[in-house]
Amino acid sequence: MRMLGLDYGSRTVGVAVSDPLGITAHGVETITRKEENKLRRTLARIEELIGEYQIEMIVLGYPKNMDDSIGERAKKTEEFRDMLVRRTDLPVVLWDERLTTMEANDILIESGVRRENRKRVIDKIAAVLILRSYMDSVQEKKS
């Protein structure tokens, strides 16, 4: 089953896809928008990617607070999930994404990516980490 991983932010959405067997994940792109609530083009691009990669399920990063509470960003993510379900008719799993952006930044620093270039790819890397984390948990349950 091919999955789409999304790191939803106020102005960007990092996108990753799994291989058809759901074993590996790779970054595809970062979708940007000028205003937080202007989501029509973002949703249209996600729909294009779903068709292009024959996606059957979406894993959406869920930004809970460190104390496990639900803040404003998580509520906006829940609203985005609802839009995705309505537009795509696919299952959307909310997946805890705490610290993925920090981890993505660390990976980019270790890889020698310059600070000014990190912003362009950090959301895409975070989407890969979210998707990979979900796939790892599914594999653990099977073992």
The answer to whether residues 141 and 131 touch, using CB atoms and an 8 Å cutoff, is: no
The confidence score (pLDDT) of residue 14 equals 95
Nearest Cα to Cα of residue 53 among 30, 26, 32: 26
In tens, the pLDDT along 111-120 reads 887 877 777 7
The confidence score (pLDDT) of residue 69 equals 86
For the chain, the structural domain boundaries read 3-142
In tens, the pLDDT along 22-43 reads 889 999 999 999 888 889 999 9
Average pLDDT over residues 13-30: 94
Q: Look at domain 3-142 and name its CATH class.
A: alpha beta
